[in-house]
């Protein structure tokens, strides 16, 4: 992991078949993160399954079913560095059947790239609207709009401007300020304006998608607050133990920290110890807010107690215990924590 660069989680969203995975694959290839040999294998694989032209999408779509169907099903994460930032790129599915996975990806993101096709008959579609609304709902405050498939629209400036007007109205309707959102014309498959300009759109005076990513403003990290880490998934690996996966929302988690997982099976929480922390298969000694997909090994926390649990907290002083009480509210069941570590603050786990 790039220790000297600020980390940003960046989710790619948009309607199915508008080119999200191809855009990410082209970005990774043109920036040198995918070599020629790997791309040749992906081209052969695309030809094998009858999906010629999907080689860039296969950089992110690794599941057999994804490659055979030609659609993204699950979230895919890739590390990526620009001259300024260290990114975790999140490729979210665009098909309505997998909207739950898209919501998970948006919940992990600090910023997003909305990919919209300029091809005839595409433009703003159902999942375009839904993804914009869900990004705003999940707290994604910064967006970049990539108007893709400009090659299919013959690199027409009028087509780009018309779609920009329509998208601006959509973004404004859910609370975004379109004046602060960059709109970038791209053609992901031929590689126009993704990582470099090929000169097909002399009328466009802005930067490439890659250059625009470096204009994002990193979110503030609430490291001064108590540790809170919602668990996204849990793995029970033979010979290693329980491996919960999630993202630190507040505070800092360090190796050897004493933590509590709540509500656990009996609703009282269960304590354990952080044995190791990893991100993108690289070990680290601490995890801070905005770092998603840190893999944590907890000593003393059984798998059954993590399954269905939501937040993880650092424990109180050994002489005192955390107190929990259930609160029945309109949105569901909340658990409120009042303890010596965060006196006066309420942290909640929602169980609808």
Band the pLDDT of 242: cuts 50, 70, 90.
confident
In this structure, are residues 326 and 333 in contact, taking their beta carbons and an 8 Å threshold? yes
Residues 6+ positions from 319 with CB-CB distance below 8 Å = none
pTM of the model: 0.77
Query: Which residue, chain included where needed, has tokens 């994460």?
Result: 77
CB atoms within 10 A of CB 163: 22
d(CA 19, CA 207): 19
Whether 2 has a pLDDT exceeding 60, the answer reads: no
Beta strands in the chain (DSSP E): 6-13, 76-81, 85-91, 111-117, 142-148, 183-185, 229-237, 241-246, 253-254, 258-261, 270-279, 282-284, 286-287, 294-299, 311-314, 323-329, 332-338, 350-351
pLDDT above 70: residue 46: yes
Distance CA 220, CA 75 (A): 25
Per DSSP, helices labelled H in the chain are 20-30, 36-48, 64-69, 99-108, 126-137, 157-173, 209-213, 303-306
The band of 99, judged by pLDDT with boundaries at 50, 70 and 90, is very high
Which residue in 124, 108, 54, 45 sits closest to 245, CA to CA? 108
Domains of the chain: 6-213 (3.40.50.300), 229-351 (2.40.30.10)
For the stretch 47-98, pLDDT in tens is: 999 999 899 999 988 888 888 888 888 888 888 889 899 898 999 998 998 9
Q: What is the pLDDT of residues 258-285, one digit of tens each?
A: 888 877 777 777 788 887 887 766 777 7
């Amino acid at each position: 992991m790039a220790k000297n660069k600020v980390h940003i989680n960046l989710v790619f969203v948009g309607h199915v078949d508008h080119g999200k995975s191809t855009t990410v694959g082209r970005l990774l290839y043109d920036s040198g993160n995918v070599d020629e040999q790997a791309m040749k294998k992906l081209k052969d694989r695309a030809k094998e399954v009858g999906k010629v032209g999907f080689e860039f999408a296969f950089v992110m779509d690794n599941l057999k079913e994804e490659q055979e169907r030609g659609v993204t099903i699950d979230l895919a994460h890739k590390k990526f560095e620009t001259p300024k930032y260290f990114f975790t790129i999140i490729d979210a599915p665009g098909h309505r059947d997998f909207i739950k996975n898209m919501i998970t990806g948006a919940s992990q993101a600090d910023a997003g790239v909305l990919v919209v096709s300029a091809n005839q008959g595409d433009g703003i579609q159902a999942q375009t609207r839904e993804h914009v609304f869900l990004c705003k709902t999940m707290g994604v405050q910064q967006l970049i709009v990539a108007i893709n498939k400009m090659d299919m629209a013959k690199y027409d400036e009028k087509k780009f401007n018309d779609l920009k007007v329509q998208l601006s109205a959509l973004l404004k309707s859910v609370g975004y300020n379109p004046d602060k959102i960059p709109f970038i014309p791209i053609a992901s498959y031929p590689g126009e304006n993704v990582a470099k300009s090929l000169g097909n759109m002399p009328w466009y005076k802005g930067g490439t998608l890659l250059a625009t990513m470096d204009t994002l403003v990193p979110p503030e990290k609430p490291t001064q607050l108590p540790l809170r880490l919602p668990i996204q998934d849990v793995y029970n690996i033979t010979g290693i133990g329980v491996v919960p996966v999630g993202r630190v929302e507040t505070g800092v988690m360090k190796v050897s920290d004493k933590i509590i997982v709540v509500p656990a099976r009996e609703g009282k929480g269960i304590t354990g110890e952080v044995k190791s922390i990893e991100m993108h298969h690289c070990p680290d000694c601490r995890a801070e807010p905005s770092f998603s997909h840190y893999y944590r090994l907890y000593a003393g926390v059984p798998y059954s107690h993590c399954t269905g649990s939501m937040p993880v907290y650092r424990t109180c002083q050994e002489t005192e215990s955390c107190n929990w009480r259930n609160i029945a509210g309109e949105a569901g069941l909340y658990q409120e924590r009042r303890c010596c570590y965060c006196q006066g603050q309420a942290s909640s786990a929602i169980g609808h």
